[in-house]
Amino acid sequence: MEYWQQSLKASITTPAQLAKHFPLDVPALESVVERYPMRITPHYLGLIEEVGDPIWRQCVPDPLELQAGGLAEDPLGEESLSPVPGIVHRYPDRALFLTSNVCAVYCRFCTRKRRIGCREHGISFGEILAGIDYISRTPQIKDVLLSGGDPLLMSDRLLGDILGRLRQIPHVEIIRIGTRVPVTLPERITEGLCRLLSRSQPLYLNTHFNHPREIAPEAAEACRRLADVGVPLGNQTVLLRGVNDDPAIMAALLRGLLRIRVRPYYLHQMDLAAGTGHFRTRLESGLEMIGALRGQISGMAIPHYVVDLPGGKGKVPLTPDFLKQLGPRAILRAPGGERVEFPNDP
Ligand SMILES: *Cc1c(COP(=O)(O)O)cnc(C)c1O
Ligand code: SF4
């Protein structure tokens, strides 16, 4: 077993284990974990400074998750955009390829929490092959995004096999990997993995930092290793109430990312996913934040603020000029031109 696999095994997966480190209401959390699993790696646990801090809020189950509050299990309509299991094909030239159903840490705000970490949604090798087959017979697809779950929780061997097969498809021009392991399990970024990724160029890696305290020395080192073998690094942040919905914290995060050679790509408005409503912010909060950052920090550090419209209608970038048009139900224009209502009522 590799060292990172041992770390994963040493992770906390029950409230009782966490109660050995921090005071907490074990039975209340157990009822959450029955529905939405928990896992906190030793590295991520070590970033918690106190109960309720921004690291804690992202990884420790909260009874508020059991209040759906009218939010959907699958807000982005991914299941309906799925031609074969594991593929989400919304934009003609790009496809999401969900190759893993597990993550190093189960983020409490995850938009796919309906299925991530749940045994019944495991992905078989046969399904992965069927996904590769779909990509190979769909020549419009130029860009494959490996996502999940976290694709870097697959073994080097399985990941190498998948990348090799994708590389043999002539119309696949670029591969992207979406992963949070540089943040949550930085020891996963081994030399062997870096060699494998550098052999699959052009390959882009998008990671997921949400708070400046996640830019720990180990995470910085993981990003350095990736950047040194020539893997371009981007970052997707989710705007989270009580975690990073503060312009000073956001500026510190974005600046810190450029320092470790990670280019901020997207700032995501929270999706309307059941069990995550307590993290929602108003659209004004994101727009004001982008407005405050302009002129304050390098343009290279400023991500696109995007709303992923319900029902799979696509991502819409919002800029501060949108402010005047907002109300409790914002009307946004989908990539196809359609006007779509987005609730702005948290
Ligand atoms: C976000 C997303 C993509 C990638 O979009 P980019 O804007 O190119 O990064 C592709 N497919 C789906 C289903 C998505 O949600
Ligand atoms: S790493 Fe990504 S997919 Fe996994 S739980 Fe966190 S947000 Fe969800």
Supply the pLDDT for residue 68.
Answer: 75
Supply the pLDDT for residue 320.
Answer: 85
Supply the pLDDT for residue 53.
Answer: 98
Q: Which of 74, 89, 96, 175 to mutate to test the pocket of ligand 1 (most atoms within 8 A of CB)?
A: 96
User: Which helix or strand (DSSP H or E) is residue 34 part of?
Assistant: helix 26-35
Residues 6+ apart with CB under 8 A from 268: 236, 237, 238, 239, 306, 307, 308
Supply the pLDDT for residue 8.
Answer: 97
Catalytic (active site) residue 194: no
Q: Closest ligand 2 atom, CA of 111? A: 8
The answer, yes or no, to whether any atom of ligand 1 lies below 6 A from the CB of 98, is no
Q: Which of 177, 180, 276 to mutate to test the pocket of ligand 2 (most atoms within 8 A of CB)?
A: 180
Closest-CA residue, ligand 2 atom 3, reads 149
The answer, yes or no, to whether any atom of ligand 1 lies below 6 A from the CB of 88, is yes
Q: Which ligand is nearest to the CA of 96?
A: 1
3-state helix, strand, coil in the chain (%, to 5): 40, 20, 40
Q: What's this model's pTM, rounded to 2 decimal places?
A: 0.96
Supply the pLDDT for residue 119.
Answer: 80
Three-class SS state of 93: coil
Choice among 94, 167, 241, 255 that is catalytic: 94
Q: φ, ψ for residue 159 (rounded to 5)?
A: -60, -45
What is 238-296 written as a DSSP string?
E--TTTT-SHHHHHHHHHHHHHTT-EEEEEEPPP-BTT-GGG---HHHHHHHHHHHBTT
Q: Which ligand is nearest to the CA of 105?
A: 2
Q: What is the pLDDT along the chain (346 residues), one digit of tens a residue?
A: 999 999 999 999 999 999 999 999 999 999 999 999 999 999 999 999 999 999 999 999 999 999 977 888 898 888 888 999 999 999 999 999 999 999 999 999 999 998 898 888 889 999 999 999 999 999 999 999 999 899 999 999 999 999 999 999 999 999 999 999 999 999 999 999 999 999 999 999 999 999 999 999 999 999 999 999 999 999 999 999 999 999 999 999 999 999 999 999 999 999 999 999 999 999 999 999 999 998 899 999 999 999 999 988 999 999 987 766 788 899 888 988 899 999 998 8
Choice among 39, 57, 108, 112 that is catalytic: 112
